[in-house]
A and B are shown apart, each in its own frame.
Chain A
Amino acid sequence: MGRYILSRTVQSVVLLVFVSMLTFALIHAAPGGPGVLLAPGMTGAQIKEAQRALGLDDPIPVQYLRWLSNLLHGNLGKSYGQGLPVSQVVISRIPLTLELVVTGMLLSVVFGVLIGVVSAVRRYSIVDHLATGLTFFGMSVPVFWLGLMLIILFSIDWHLLPSSGAVTLGAAATLIDRLKHLVLPAVVLATANLAQIARYTRSSMIEVLNADFLRVARAKGLRERAVIYRHGLRNALVPVVTVVALGVPRLVGGVAITESVFAWPGMGQLAVDSALQRDYPVIMGITLMVSILVILTNFLTDLSYVFLDPRVKLTGTR
Chain B
Amino acid sequence: MSIQRDGRSLDTPLDRRTFLRLTTSAAGVAAGTALLAACGGSSSTPTTAPAGTQSTTSTQSAPTTSSTPSTGGTGASAASTPAASSGPAPKRGGTFKIPVNANITPWPPIGAIQNLMVNKSLFNGLVRYSPTDWTPQPDLAESWDTSSDGLTWTFHLRKGVTWHDGKPFTADDVKYTLGVYKDPNVNSILLGNLEPVSSIDAVDANTVKVTTKTPYSSFVELLCYLCFMLPQHLLQGQKFDRTTFPQDFIQHPVGTGPFKFGEHVPGDHFTVVANENYYEGRPYLDSVIYKIVRDQNSTIAQVKTGELDIAFPSFAQLSTLQGTSNLQIIERGLMDYRFFAGYYKNPQFGPWFSQKAVRQALAYAIDVQGIIKQVTQGKADRSNGPLPPALKAWYIPDLPVFDYDPNKAGQMLSDAGFKKGSDGILAKDGQKYQFTFYTDQGQPEREQTALILQQNFKDIGIDAKLQTLEFNDLQNRYRVTHDFTAMAYYYVTPATPDQHSYWQTNGSTNEWAYSNPDVDKLFDQAMSTFDVDKRKATFKQLYTILADDQAVNFIYHPHELQAINKRVQGWAETDYRDALLYLSKVWMSS
Contact = CB atoms under 8 A, between A and B. Distances in A.
A268 B243 CA distance: 23
Nearest to B34: A156
Contact of A261 (B226, B298, B302, B509): B298
A266 B302 CA distance: 19
Given A32-B474, A164-B307, A269-B267, A47 B479 contact: yes
Contacts of B191: 42-43, 46
A136 to B, nearest CB: 17
Nearest to A159: B305
A144 B189 contact: no
A145 B14 CA distance: 12
Contact of A273 (B226, B294, B297, B471): B294
Nearest to B109: A39
Contacts of A49: 184, 187
B46 interface: yes
A78 B247 CA distance: 11
Contacts of B34: 156
A149 to B, nearest CB: 7
Contact of B112 (A39, A54, A261): A39
B480 A82 contact: no
B469 interface: yes
Contact of A53 (B95, B110, B242): B242
A272 interface: yes
A33 interface: yes
A204 B199 CA distance: 80
Nearest to B189: A41
Contact of A42 (B32, B189, B241, B472): B189
A84 B508 CA distance: 31
Contact of A83 (B95, B250, B469): B250
Nearest to A51: B480
Interface string A49-75: 110011000000000000000000000
Contacts of B29: 149, 152
Given A151-B35, A163-B298, A54 B243 contact: yes
A199 interface: no
Given A38-B472, A152-B30, A170-B97, A33 B102 contact: no
Interface stretch (B284-292, B334-342, B579-587): B284-292
Nearest to B475: A38
Given A155-B301, A164-B307, A93 B267 contact: yes
Interface in B257-311: 265-269, 271, 287, 289, 291-295, 297-298, 301-302, 304-305, 307
B321 interface: no
Interface residues of B, number: 81
B493 to A, nearest CB: 10
Contacts of A164: 293, 298, 302, 307
Contact of B479 (A30, A35, A38, A165): A38
A289 to B, nearest CB: 16
B35 A152 contact: yes
A301 interface: no
Nearest to B96: A170
Interface in B484-519: 492, 501, 508-509, 511
Contact of B268 (A89, A155, A265): A265
A33 B511 CA distance: 18
Interface stretch (B47-55, B354-362, B393-401): B47-55
B312 interface: no
Nearest to A149: B29
A31 interface: yes
Given A81-B103, A145-B19, A155-B305, A40 B292 contact: no
A82 B103 contact: yes
Interface in B539-572: none
A260 B292 CA distance: 10
A148 B102 contact: no
A274 B44 CA distance: 15
B26 to A, nearest CB: 12
Contacts of A32: 470-476
Contacts of A269: 267, 294
Given A49-B187, A156-B301, A261-B295, A89 B266 contact: yes
Given A169-B269, A272-B294, A163 B247 contact: no
Contact of B472 (A31, A82, A83, A272): A31
A270 interface: yes
Contacts of B509: 43
Given A265-B265, A265-B268, 11 more contacts: A33-B472, A37-B243, A40-B189, A41-B47, A41-B189, A53-B243, A82-B105, A148-B297, A152-B33, A163-B302, A272-B294
The 9 closest A-B pairs by CB, nearest first: A32-B472, A41-B189, A83-B245, A265-B268, A40-B47, A265-B267, A31-B473, A32-B473, A41-B49
9 contacts: A36-B243, A38-B472, A41-B47, A41-B48, A43-B51, A82-B250, A83-B244, A165-B268, A276-B470
